[in-house]
Amino acid sequence: MTEPTIICPNCTTEIKVTESLAAALIESARRQYERRFTQARGSTLVNTLAAPSRDLIHPGVLRYMHEVGLLR
């Protein structure tokens, strides 16, 4: 079985992905995902409804809010 490799985008050197390197890459990706997920959790319908103007809310979101009874 061939060892996995990645190519450096700067110098195009092929780098073997060892277990220790893979662990660091996985941990980095996990931290990025956690950061994005935390930001997404903060965006709720309550926050959206608190927008200073309904013009700032996407029409599809307004339609959904109306359909589920959050807007009249």
Could you report the per-residue pLDDT of 21-72, keeping only the tens digit for each? 888 889 999 999 888 887 777 677 778 888 888 898 899 989 988 898 888 7
Q: Domain span at residue 30?
A: 1-41
Judgement on whether residues 51 and 22 belong to the same structural domain of the protein: no
Let me know: does 34 contact 21? Beta carbons within 8 Å. no
Judgement on whether residues 3 and 33 belong to the same structural domain of the protein: yes
Q: Over the stretch 7-30, which tens digit does the pLDDT of each residue have? A: 999 999 998 888 888 888 899 999
* pTM of the model as a whole: 0.41
Judgement on whether residues 36 and 8 belong to the same structural domain of the protein: yes
Judgement on whether residues 5 and 18 belong to the same structural domain of the protein: yes
> What is the C-alpha separation between 21 and 48, in angstroms, rounded?
41
Number of domains in the chain: 2
**Residue 48 belongs to what H/E stretch?**
helix 45-49
